[in-house]
Amino acid sequence: MFDIKQINNLLKTEQFYLSQHALKRTFERQITIDEIIELSDNAEIIEQYPEDKYLPSCLVLGFT
């Protein structure tokens, strides 16, 4: 399971992966990678998926 400090660190050091679905949504919503990194200051984990198909993952909400 992730905690928000781990997520913040991964975002700030650009050590994260966006799923194909997430990439599609960020493109549709015109969200940049810089904005994703910026949200680390106020990110909140909404849902965790420890049994995700390839790697554990989570849904994060944050505002820039």
CA nearest to 38, candidates 15, 19, 63: 63
According to the model, what pLDDT value does residue 51 have? Answer: 92
**42's tokens:** 């106020």
The three-state (H, E, C) secondary structure of 29-54, written as one string: CCCCHHHHHHHHHHCEEEEEECCCCC
pLDDT score of 23 = 94
Structural domain of 41: 4-61
- pLDDT tens, residue by residue, 8-60: 898 889 998 888 999 999 999 999 999 999 988 888 899 999 998 888 888 88
pTM above 0.75, yes or no: no
Per the CB < 8 A criterion, the answer to whether 41 and 51 are in contact is no
Domains in the chain: how many in total?
A: 1
